[in-house]
Structure 1
Amino acid sequence: MRSTWRDRDRDFRQTLPGGDTSERALMEALQIVKPDYRPLPGIDPNKDDLQYYRFQMGLDCDEVYPGIFIGDATTAKNKEYLKVIGVTHLLNTAEGTRFGFVNTNKEYYNDTTIKYLGLPLADLPSVDISKYFYTAAEFIEDALSSGGKVFVHCMMGISRSATCVLAYLMIKKGMPAVQAIQRVRQSRDIHPNIGFLRQLAQLDNQLRRQRVL
């Protein structure tokens, strides 16, 4: 059962071995790990064909954990490519029509079998992305537990989408925040904004306290 806010407030006051996780520690983890750039998922780098090369143009996608892809808005709209890599679920962490958002919704994928979830998040340090941590984690877990694959994106695939994937790894896979960052950044150059890092640090402290009770 998910803990109540009163339980989490009590957990927040408990002293942790080694002290609390801070956004500074997460920022340092981002800076230390350098991404190992790999070929696009689902693309044969040895295939020499002009039409195939044109198909790849504009794609930006990395598999950061088995079955979890992070990418940008252009790739999210390329339904042919999503089919190539076997995407069954798609999480748009920047749903909206304003500048900096991605104007897609459930109806955009009606001609596919993709299960869609949209979160209306702006990439601003002041935005409370934490209220969607468990929603995003459940959606990603639903994809993987059913044998599917999930594509998580925002505009550029580096802040909002990355933050939600990190939260998933912390909540569902039991990874400390630093380990989650290291795991994802090995495959993709992610940069959650400082406000999102602060909220991930708070989530890390909550989860750590719950595990020592």
Structure 2
Amino acid sequence: MDEQAVRELVQGSSEVEWSYEMRRQCQEILKGLFLGPLQASKDLDALQALGITHIVCIRDAKEAFSVRPRFPEHFKYKVLDVEDNEDQNLIRRFPEAKLFIDDAIARGGRVLVHCNGGISLSPAFVVMYVMEHYKLSWEDALHFVQNRRYCISPNGGFLTQIKEYESIYKASDAVAAFPPQPRAASRRKREDEDEEDNRREEERKRPYTTDEDDAMMF
């Protein structure tokens, strides 16, 4: 995408008027992917009205008594126990969340990602998802999500990891674009070279004979 297209994508709709009460609701960040707080995950009627089919429940383990799957008979859940502090490694936990979201959307599902407040922890996961999905910089991905859920504010440690993830996904994309040569082909080439070297070595060891030497042998 060119710079203008990226700006328009990040900005999103200008028709949304944010109000304080909206922080208690979930918002659609990209098609089929919603972000919100615990409160949004407790409203069965609202979830069904939005067509939610899958829920990523991200919580600190000590919150497990309240931040938990509430409607397992209605939705498929992915629960991630992640400490809500700056030292928590989010990048290590992100791939399983991404796989769950990708699979749900590929099947035509709609996914809610939530933590307790929907301010820092779950938004960090969604920012990384948006970054890789649209191939954005970390800043553009952060603004993309903020422009759809204005109240997000990942803590400093999470923000550092969001920045780091940009280089990680770009490196992965670069490797995928230029895959290594198949090992089988390389092995066959080495075997052919070894066979040629052996043939030359045998010829070098073979004693030199002249036509006279050959005649004397008879």
Q: TM tier, shorter chain?
A: 0.5 to 0.7
SS at match of 1:183: helix
Question: What CA deviation, in whole Å up to 9, does each residue of 1:82-139 have, x standing for no partner?
Answer: 111110110011164x25984313xx32331x11001111221011111111111111
Structure 2 gap segments, 5+ residues each: 1-10, 176-218
User: Does structure 2 retain, via aligned residues, the 8 Å contact 1:86–1:149?
Assistant: yes
Summarize the Cα distance change of 1:128–1:81 in structure 2 as closer, same or farther, 3 Å threshold: same
Computing the radius of gyration from Cα coordinates, the structure with the larger value is: 2
TM-score by length of 1: 0.66
Which of residues 163, 167, 185 in structure 1 aligns to 2:124? 163
Which of residues 56, 77, 94 in structure 2 aligns to 1:91? 56
Structure 1 gap segments, 5+ residues each: 1-32, 41-55
Alignment-derived partner of residue 61 in structure 1 = 26
1:82 aligns with 2:43: no
Q: Partner amino acid for 1:88?
A: T
User: Does structure 2 retain, via aligned residues, the 8 Å contact 1:153–1:161?
Assistant: yes
Summarize the Cα distance change of 1:209–1:59 in structure 2 as closer, same or farther, 3 Å threshold: closer
User: Does structure 2 retain, via aligned residues, the 8 Å contact 1:126–1:195?
Assistant: yes
Following superposition, the deviation at residue 176 of structure 1 comes to 2.4
1:14-163 pair list within 5 angstroms: 38=16, 59-94=24-59, 96=61, 98-99=62-63, 102-105=66-69, 108-112=70-74, 114-163=75-124
Take 2:98 and 2:106, find their aligned partners in 1: how far apart are those partners?
A: 12
Q: Partner amino acid for 1:111?
A: E
Alpha carbon RMSD of aligned pairs, Å?
2.9
Following superposition, the deviation at residue 73 of structure 1 comes to 0.6
Higher relative contact order (CA 8 A, sep 6+): 1
TM-score by length of 2: 0.65
The count of residues paired between Structure 1 and Structure 2 equals 162
Alignment-derived partner of residue 160 in structure 2 = 198
**Percent of paired sites with the same residue:** 28
Summarize the Cα distance change of 1:125–1:102 in structure 2 as closer, same or farther, 3 Å threshold: farther
Summarize the Cα distance change of 1:128–1:57 in structure 2 as closer, same or farther, 3 Å threshold: closer
Q: Partner amino acid for 1:103?
A: V
Question: What CA deviation, in whole Å up to 9, does each residue of 1:28-68 have, x standing for no partner?
Answer: xxxxx8x968379xxxxxxxxxxxxxxx9994211111111
Structure number with higher helix proportion: 2
Take 2:144 and 2:154, find their aligned partners in 1: how far apart are those partners?
A: 14
